[in-house]
Homo-oligomer: A and B are copies of this chain.
Amino acid sequence: MGGADEICFMTARELAARIRRRELSAREVMEAHLAQIARVNPLVNAIVSQVPEEEALALADAADAALARGDEVGPLHGLPIAHKDLEETKGLRTTFGSPIYRDYIPERDTLLVERLKRAGALTIGKTNVPEFGAGSQTFNPVFGPTRNPYDLSKTCGGSSGGAAVALACGMLPIADGSDTGGSLRNPGNFNNVVGFRPSAGRVPTWPAAMGWSTLGVKGPLARTVGDVALLLSAMAGPDPRSPIALPEPGSVFARPLERDFRGVRVAWSRDLGGLPVDPRVTAVLESQRHVFADLGCVVEEATPDLRDADEIFHVLRALHFAVRHAEHLERHRDLLKDTVIWNTEAGLKLSALDVGRAEVKRTLLYHRVRAFMEEYEFLICPVNQVPPFPVEQPYPTEINGVPMESYIAWMKSAYYITVTGLPAISVPCGFTPEGLPVGVQIVGRYRDDFGVLQLANAFEQATQVWRRRPPVVA
């Protein structure tokens, strides 16, 4: 049952259910995806460091054999996956998009990869990233750029760019990613898929250089909100290797997402308090605003006071760069891109007091946002301030005539939300007149990751944007 194309664009939930019921074999599913990758990946360059075909098929056969034996299997059993190339994978090359690690083969899986494998997902390769994940544009000197499947001349965003494109093109049913300044949300937004930045600690991170840091998080990407929830159910839950892991088990995300939103107060923020936003983005969001009202939400224009978000993000991000790259800078300066050098040097110039004061400001911001979110259960805003831009352009240098002061300045609508610590999702919202995808960012209350999934699911059910327009290359 089901041709290759049907298999490759089936939801992960459906695919997993059919495999479990043995209506589809894991091998059929694997073959369909490998064929799709062979056909489409050369055009977009989303998947890199692929597992040899015979190994991938052997994994699928083993998955089928487990079902034939009646073994108990995990929620992702038999689903092909490729891991973000920032995620270490045992025996499988992990480059971080850097020529320094061009030939690096890790000896262990990260906790995330370990969990996904245990849940039954079958690792078939790695997805492309910007060099060290820096910047929301997926290009690097090891693999080159990943292209937007809706327009090959445009960027797919990043840093989970390869992941989002692989999903959009039916090369994978699920993919993992990570998000510091928007890296799960931005590529969701640019490629008509769903990217979810959960609360810090929701998906425990190990290894983590600074175990208590809440800036960067891991999270799921998929074509639908339901699939994102399925994937999160396998990713989430406590692990002693992360001191900040949240205690709820991942299974809480396997509950039905349906909910009545009548009377729920929603803040609608067109520009998060004065950020320049490309009118094509605004037009798409405004055209779908009625959907939230149709769901019964009370939608009001309101924006939390995000004062200092920019400084907080710059300082804490630069600290991470200094920790991660001080040694790279010393030993391999010639192998680092300018923006990584700039960001690392910015970190090396900071004092401890700069960091402390950023933490103080982050705390004050937290309290302002917390008060705001007592009034509103959700905040809706743009994911990004621009639609996908030319793939040759490392980053937008201006928006609506406003010059961007750094390579990440165009990401404010995403990283302001990072700094609040709220969970936030990008869900497909529509298309620009040129046919480029635009997502909407739904932000929920502290630790209410499930609520975000519920509202995103209701929006998706009402709009079905993800089904509306296939990529030009898929």
Q: Residues of A at under 8 Å CB distance from B?
A: 208-214, 240-241, 243-244, 247, 315, 318-320, 322-323, 326, 347-348, 350-357, 359-360, 362-363, 366-367, 370, 421, 446
Do B359 and A348 touch across chains, with their CB atoms under 8 A apart? no
- Nearest-neighbour CB distance to chain B for A379, whole angstroms, equals 16
- Nearest-neighbour CB distance to chain B for A313, whole angstroms, equals 14
Do A348 and B356 touch across chains, with their CB atoms under 8 A apart? no
Q: For residue A248, which residue of chain B has the nearest CB?
A: B247
Do B212 and A319 touch across chains, with their CB atoms under 8 A apart? no
Q: For residue A324, which residue of chain B has the nearest CB?
A: B356
- Which residue in B209, B352, B356, B367 is a CB contact (below 8 Å) of A363? B209
- Which residue in B212, B353, B359 is a CB contact (below 8 Å) of A214? B212
Q: For residue A247, which residue of chain B has the nearest CB?
A: B247
Do A360 and B210 touch across chains, with their CB atoms under 8 A apart? yes
Whole-angstrom distance between the alpha carbons of A348 and B355 in the complex? 11
What are 16 contact pairs spanning A and B, CB under 8 A? Answer: A208-B363, A209-B359, A210-B359, A211-B363, A212-B359, A240-B446, A241-B367, A241-B370, A323-B353, A323-B359, A326-B353, A347-B352, A347-B353, A350-B351, A352-B354, A355-B355
The answer to whether A323 and B356 touch (CB under 8 A), given A211-B366, A212-B212, A351-B350, is: yes
Q: What residues on B are CB-neighbors of A355 within 8 Å? A: 319, 352, 355
- Give this chain's copy count: 2
Q: For residue A356, which residue of chain B has the nearest CB?
A: B323
Do A356 and B210 touch across chains, with their CB atoms under 8 A apart? yes
Q: What residues on B are CB-neighbors of A353 within 8 Å? A: 319, 322-323, 326, 347-348, 350
Q: What residues on B are CB-neighbors of A367 within 8 Å? A: 211, 241
- Nearest-neighbour CB distance to chain B for A249, whole angstroms, equals 13
- Determine the main DSSP class of A at the interface with B: helix
Whole-angstrom distance between the alpha carbons of A92 and B319 in the complex? 40
Whole-angstrom distance between the alpha carbons of A326 and B352 in the complex? 12
Q: For residue A352, which residue of chain B has the nearest CB?
A: B350
The answer to whether A363 and B210 touch (CB under 8 A), given A318-B352, A348-B353, A353-B348, is: yes
Q: What residues on B are CB-neighbors of A352 within 8 Å? A: 315, 318-319, 322, 347-348, 350-352, 354-355
Q: For residue A240, which residue of chain B has the nearest CB?
A: B370
- Which residue in B211, B348, B360 is a CB contact (below 8 Å) of A209? B360
Residue among A210, A244, A446 having the largest count of chain B Cβ atoms under 10 Å = A210
Residue among A212, A315, A318 having the largest count of chain B Cβ atoms under 10 Å = A212
Do B243 and A421 touch across chains, with their CB atoms under 8 A apart? yes
Whole-angstrom distance between the alpha carbons of A87 and B381 in the complex? 39
Q: For residue A360, which residue of chain B has the nearest CB?
A: B209
- Nearest-neighbour CB distance to chain B for A363, whole angstroms, equals 4
- Nearest-neighbour CB distance to chain B for A93, whole angstroms, equals 25
Whole-angstrom distance between the alpha carbons of A356 and B320 in the complex? 7
- Which residue in B211, B319, B354 is a CB contact (below 8 Å) of A362? B211
